[in-house]
Amino acid sequence: MVYPAFSQNSPDKSRPNIVIILADDMGYGDLGCYGAKGITTPRIDALAKQGARLTAFYSNGPECTPTRTALLTGRYQQRAGGLECAIGLGNIGRYPEAKALSDKGELGLPTDMSALPTMLKERGYRTAIVGKWHLGEGAAYRPAAHGFDYAIGPLGGAVDYFHHTEPVGVFLGTMMEGNHDFYRQDQPHQRAGTYMTHLLTNEAVEWLNIQKKEEPFFLYVPYTTPHEPYQGADDYQPDKLGMDRWSKGDTKTYARMIEDLDRGVGQILDKLKEKGFAENTLVVFFSDNGPTTIGSAGPFSGNKGHVFEGGIRVPAIVHWPGKVPAGVVSDQPFISMDITASLAALTDAKPRHKLDGVDMVGHLVSGKKDYDRNLFWRKKRAAQVRSAVRSGDLKYILDIDEGKRDEYLFDLKADPGEKNNLLQKRPADAERLRKLLHEWEAEVKPERM
């Protein structure tokens, strides 16, 4: 669609600023506006009330790296190769394809496959990433090579919130030394002692503070919250966190982490208003996958790592004053890579390759009727392969683990919690979706393998 705020011939000043805020391992039920219990998130709730809250938004994968790959490329992450499972600490590959790339020093997102920051730069946008990367730690795969003017944050999947280090101890058979993992402009940067959520918020606010109204900007803020280790802002300890404590936590600490994130989002929104940017800024908030068992998937089954709804259906909010109507609750199925397609349409950008997503923002702006679509997932780890396809309201899951094969068919409209397996009752539907999945897998074979 041609947006009210931008067309190819409009002056640069009409281009909206873009802010993407990404939570890490936040579940569908971890925000007040999605029914959270025991967690207070007034700023994000207000953002949803003033914009659109999406109830059928999916992450491209049930783990960190896959969704980030899809966002940066605007395509299914399977096309990139080696990135359909979270890259392990120390840039370790966790399934054969990823291990082969890791052994060659090539595990990461190649720059010729990414689209989001480069296409916006070509449209005159200033670009920044403030937060977690998790798309490769080698020099050729870091943010600057992908078109970010400014980059600060950890490169890997998880760090101590205070020391900004990987854990100490044995991880997947490898002895971890608690290496420092915090970078500024792709160079090691020491900021130990500052709580990570506060540090990233402050950096995002300071970057916004130096932006100018006449130059559009794209700010990507992938927080590490509430990913493990589970540390609240008052939980500082003088020693680096070891593997023995890395995954330990409780719901009270988890709630405090999310509430800190909520305050950080509020500070970013306040700075947008203070600088006079708010009315011309599109803000998208979402999570990269479902929660671990300490979080809440709301009414859904499964959690992080699974392709049941709880692992891939996540909270998502789209806010654009005067364009996206306030108070909208959309049941239209969307997926992470749709954000990239939306931004390409919004800015009249020319991505370097054909995108797999649809214009999500355009759909919300237009108020058009919702429609059925086919969406696909596949996650590999070791000998495990978890796949799914949603077609309309039907969803088929194929779960293979150590040679054991489990299949499921669900009607998500009647059974969003995926409690009633219809595989035996509706064999024709199961076969149709099984065929769709096979055809998709053949079409998205990795281009560099």
What does the pLDDT look like over 385-440, one tens digit per residue? 999 999 999 999 999 998 899 999 999 999 999 999 999 999 999 999 999 999 99
User: Reduced to 3 states, what is the DSSP secondary structure of residue 151?
Assistant: strand
Average pLDDT over residues 354-363: 98
> 93-127, pLDDT tens digit by residue?
999 999 999 999 999 999 999 999 999 999 999 99
> 15-70, pLDDT tens digit by residue?
899 999 999 999 999 999 999 999 999 999 999 999 999 999 999 999 999 999 99
Asked whether residue 340 falls in the same domain as residue 404, the answer is no
Domain assignment present for residue 67? The answer is yes
Structural domain boundaries enclosing 438? 377-443
Q: How many residues does the chain have?
A: 449
227 catalytic, yes or no? no
Structure tokens at 91: 């840039």
Q: What is the pLDDT of residue 2?
A: 52
For tokens 């080698």, the residue is 138
The C-alpha atoms of residue 281 and residue 265 are separated, in whole angstroms, by: 14
DSSP class of residue 242?
B
pLDDT band at 447 (very low <50, low <70, confident <90, very high): confident
Q: What is the pLDDT of residue 216?
A: 97
* Contact by Cβ (8 Å): 57, 286: yes
**In Å, how far are 158, 164, 190 from 229, measured between CA atoms?**
8, 11, 19
Handedness of CA 249, 45, 300, 82 (dihedral sign): negative
Asked whether residue 102 falls in the same domain as residue 128, the answer is yes
- Closest to 254 in 3D by CA, of 285, 286, 231, 224: 231
The C-alpha atoms of residue 26 and residue 67 are separated, in whole angstroms, by: 13
Burial class (CB in 10 A: 0-12, 13-18, 19+), 33: middle
Average pLDDT over residues 126-139: 97
Q: What is the pLDDT of residue 14?
A: 59
> 275-299, pLDDT tens digit by residue?
999 999 999 999 999 999 999 999 9
Asked whether residue 189 falls in the same domain as residue 82, the answer is yes
Domain assignment present for residue 290? The answer is yes
- Provide the CATH number for the domain around residue 399: 3.30.1120.10
Q: What is the pLDDT of residue 317?
A: 98
Asked whether residue 324 falls in the same domain as residue 428, the answer is no
Domain assignment present for residue 4? The answer is no
Asked whether residue 160 falls in the same domain as residue 73, the answer is yes
168 or 253, which is more confident: 253
Domain assignment present for residue 2? The answer is no
Asked whether residue 359 falls in the same domain as residue 412, the answer is no
The C-alpha atoms of residue 156 and residue 351 are separated, in whole angstroms, by: 26
Angle at 240 between CA 87 and CA 262, to 5 degrees: 70
Task: Give start and end residues of each alpha helix (H) in 125-246.
Answer: 196-209, 243-246
Handedness of CA 302, 295, 52, 17 (dihedral sign): negative
Residue 4 has pLDDT above 60, yes or no: no
- Provide the CATH number for the domain around residue 322: 3.40.720.10
Domain assignment present for residue 449? The answer is no
Asked whether residue 327 falls in the same domain as residue 415, the answer is no
Q: What is the pLDDT of residue 8?
A: 41
Question: How many domains does the chain divide into?
Answer: 2
Asked whether residue 228 falls in the same domain as residue 119, the answer is yes
Q: What is the pLDDT of residue 11?
A: 39
Average pLDDT over residues 248-268: 97
Q: What is the pLDDT of residue 202?
A: 98
* Contact by Cβ (8 Å): 131, 101: no
Asked whether residue 437 falls in the same domain as residue 318, the answer is no
163 catalytic, yes or no? no
pTM, 2 dp: 0.96
Residue 1 has pLDDT above 70, yes or no: no
Asked whether residue 242 falls in the same domain as residue 163, the answer is yes
Task: Write down the catalytic residue from 85, 134, 164, 319.
Answer: 134
Burial class (CB in 10 A: 0-12, 13-18, 19+), 16: buried
Q: What is the pLDDT of residue 209?
A: 98
Which of 325, 346, 372 is where one domain is finished? 372
Q: What is the pLDDT of residue 9?
A: 42
Which of 346, 372, 398 is where one domain is finished? 372
Asked whether residue 252 falls in the same domain as residue 381, the answer is no
Which of 337, 372, 407 is where one domain is finished? 372
Domain assignment present for residue 289? The answer is yes
> 23-34, pLDDT tens digit by residue?
999 999 999 999
Domain assignment present for residue 6? The answer is no
pLDDT band at 5 (very low <50, low <70, confident <90, very high): very low
Mean pLDDT of the chain: 95
Half-sphere exposure of 317 (CA within 13 A, CB side): 25
Asked whether residue 355 falls in the same domain as residue 399, the answer is no
Q: What is the pLDDT of residue 90?
A: 86
Per-residue b/e over 282-301, b at no fewer than 16 CB within 10 Å?
A: bbbbbbbbbbbebbbbbebb
Domain assignment present for residue 1? The answer is no
Percentage of the chain lying above the pLDDT 90 cut: 92
Percentage of the chain lying above the pLDDT 70 cut: 97
